[in-house]
Structure 1
Amino acid sequence: MAEAKTLLISMLLSLLLLLLLTISIEEVQCLQHKAVYSVKKLQWRKLSHTLKCHPQKSRRDKGSLTLEMKHCDYCSEKTQTWDKVIRNRLISDNSRVHYLQAKIKKQVPGKMVYSTKDEIPLYSGVKLLTLNYIITLQLGKRNMTVLVDTGSDLTWVQCDPCKLCYSQQDPILNPGLSRSYKSVACNSSSCQSLEGATGFAGVCGADQKNSCNYVVNYGDGSYTRGELGRERLYVGKTYVKDFVFGCGRNNKGLFGGASGILGLGRINLSLISQTYKKFDGVFSYCLPSTEVDSSGSLTFGRDASVYKNSTPISYTKMISNPEPSTFYFLNLTGFSIGGVAIQAPGFATGRTLIDSGTVISRLVPSVYNALKTEFLKQFSGYPTAPSYSILDTCFNLSAYENVNIPTLNMHFEDTVKVNVDVLGMFYFAKDDASQVCLALASLSSEDEVGIIGNFQQRNLRIVYDTKKSNVGFAEEACSYT
Structure 2
Amino acid sequence: MAWGFSATVLLLLLLVVEGGGGVDCMEVVRSRRALQRKHHLRSRAESGATILELRHHSSGKKSREDEDDDVAGFLSSDAARVSSLQRRVAGWSTEEDDDKASVPVSSGARLRTLNYVAAVGLGGGGGDDATVIVDTASELTWVQCAPCASCHDQQDPLFDPASSPSYAVLPCNSSSCDALRLAAATGSPSCDASSSDSSCSYTLSYRDGSYSQGVLARDKLSLAGEVIDGFVFGCGTSNQGPFGGTSGLMGLGRSKLSLISQTMDQFGGFFSYCLPLKESGSSGSLVLGDDTTVYRNSTPIVYTSMVSDPLQGPFYFVNLTGIAVGGQEVESSGFSDGKVIVDSGTIITTLVPSVYNAVKAEFLSQFAEYPRAPGYSILDTCFNLTGFREVQIPSLKFVFDGNVEVEVDSSGVLFSSDSSQVCLALASLKSDYETSIIGNYQQKNLRVIFDTLGSQIGFAQETCDYI
The normalised TM-score by structure 1 is 0.83
Q: 1:195 aligns with which of 181, 190, 193?
A: 181
Q: Among 87, 92, 113, which residue is 2:72 paired with?
A: 87
Task: Name the structure 2 match of 1:136.
Answer: 119
Is 1:186 matched up with 2:166? no
1:457 aligns with 2:443: yes
CA distance in 2, matches of 1:357, 1:95: 12
State yes or no: 1:247 paired with 2:235: yes
After superposition, the Cα gap between the structure-2 partners of 1:386 and 1:311, relative to the gap in structure 1 and judged at 3 Å, is same
What amino acid does structure 1 have at the position aligned with 2:213?
R
Distance 1:445 1:261, change over 3 A: same
The CA distance in 2 between the partners of 1:447 and 1:329, in whole Å, is: 15
Of 134, 137, 141, 1:155 maps to: 141
Q: Cα gap change, 1:63/1:75 in structure 2, threshold over 3 Å: closer, same or farther?
A: farther
**2:191: which partner in 1?**
204
Whether the aligned pair in 1 keeps the contact of 2:144 and 2:235 (CA below 8 Å) is yes
Matches of 1:76 and 1:247 in 2, distance apart?
32
Q: C-alpha distance in 2, partners of 1:70/1:252?
A: 30
SS of corresponding position for 2:393: strand
Question: 4+ residue stretches of structure 1 with deviation over 6 A?
Answer: 40-43, 46-51, 55-59, 67-71, 73-80, 205-208
Report the alpha carbon displacement of residue 236 of structure 1 after superposing the two structures with TM. 2.3
Query: Could you say which residue in structure 2 is the equivalent of 1:63?
Result: 48
What residue in structure 2 maps to residue 426 of structure 1?
A: 414
Are 1:341 and 2:321 matched, yes or no? no
Report the alpha carbon displacement of residue 70 of structure 1 after superposing the two structures with TM.
Answer: 11
Structure 1 residue 270 corresponds to structure 2 residue 253? no
Q: Is the 8 A contact 1:335 1:342 kept in 2?
A: yes
**How many residues are aligned here?**
434
Q: Does 1:297 align with 2:280?
A: no
Superposition map of 1:47-126 within 5 A: 52=30, 61-64=46-49, 81-106=66-91, 116=99, 122-126=105-109
Distance in 2, Cα, partners of 1:208 & 1:221: 32
1:164 to 133, 150, 161: 150
What is the match of residue 38 of structure 2? none
Q: Is the 8 A contact 2:352 2:430 kept in 1?
A: yes
| Aligned partner (choices 391, 394, 399) of residue 387 of structure 2 | 399
Residues in 1 aligned to 2:170 and 2:58: alpha-carbon distance in whole angstroms: 33
Are residue 319 (structure 1) and residue 304 (structure 2) matched?
no
Deviations 1:325-366 (A, max 9, x none): 210000000001111111100001141111111111111111
Residue type matched to 1:94 in 2? A
Measured after TM superposition, the shift of residue 119 of structure 1 is 5.7
RMSD over aligned CA atoms reads 3.1
Cα 1:212–1:270 change in 2 (3 A) is same
Q: CA deviation at 1:43?
A: 6.9
Q: Secondary structure at the match of 1:404?
A: coil
Aligned to 1:44: 22
Q: Deviations over 1:297-347 (max 9, x none)?
A: 111000000011111111111001124621000000000111111110000
Partner of 2:11: none
Match of 1:27 in 2: none
- Answering whether residue 270 of structure 2 is matched by residue 282 of structure 1, we say yes
Tell me, what secondary structure is at the counterpart of 2:358? helix
CA contact (8 A) 1:70 1:124 kept: no
Paired amino acid for 2:81: R
Distance 1:48 1:286 in 2: 15
Say if 1:124 and 1:295, in contact at 8 Å, map to a contact too: no
Q: Aligned letter for 2:190?
A: V
Deviations 1:276-313, CA, capped at 9 Å, x for gaps: 01000011111123336432111100000001111111
Shift in CA distance, 331/250, structure 1 to aligned 2, threshold 3 Å: same
Q: Which moved more, 1:54-63 or 1:215-224?
A: 54-63
1:310 maps to 2:293? no
Contact 1:68/1:120 (8 A) holds in 2:
no
Show the counterpart of 1:416: 404
Give, as a single letter, the amino acid of the residue that structure 1 aligns with 2:107: S
CA contact under 8 A between 2:299 and 2:462: conserved in structure 1? yes
Question: Given residue 147 of structure 1, which amino acid in structure 2 is its aligned partner?
Answer: I
3-state DSSP of counterpart to 1:88? helix
3-state SS, counterpart of residue 406 of structure 1: coil
Cα-to-partner distance string for 1:50-90 (whole Å, 9 max, x where unaligned): 7945568876643346678999x999999870110111011
Distance in 1 between the 2:145 and 2:77 partners? 24
* Contact 2:301/2:460 (8 A) holds in 1: yes
For structure 1, which runs of at least 5 residues remain unmatched after alignment? Answer: 1-39
The answer to whether structure 1 residue 359 and structure 2 residue 337 are counterparts is no
Letter of the aligned partner of 1:196 in structure 2?
L
* Paired residue type of 1:244: V
1:443 maps to a residue whose letter is: L
Superposed displacement of residue 41, structure 1: 12
In percent, how many aligned pairs have the same letter?
48
Check conservation: 2:26, 2:109, Cα contact below 8 A: no
Q: Paired residue for 1:475?
A: 461
SS at match of 2:392: strand
Task: State the TM-score, normalized to the length of structure 2.
Answer: 0.86
In 2: Cα distance, 1:256 partner to 1:76 partner: 17
Taking the aligned partners of 1:211 and 1:292, their CA distance within structure 2 comes to 46
Q: Which amino acid aligns with 1:255?
A: F
User: Could you say what secondary structure the match of 1:83 adopts?
Assistant: helix
Q: Cα 1:93–1:232, aligned 2, differ >3 Å: closer, same or farther?
A: same
| 3-state SS in 1 of match to 2:84 | helix
- Distance in 2 between the 1:50 and 1:146 partners? 11
The Cα shift of 1:107 comes to 6.9
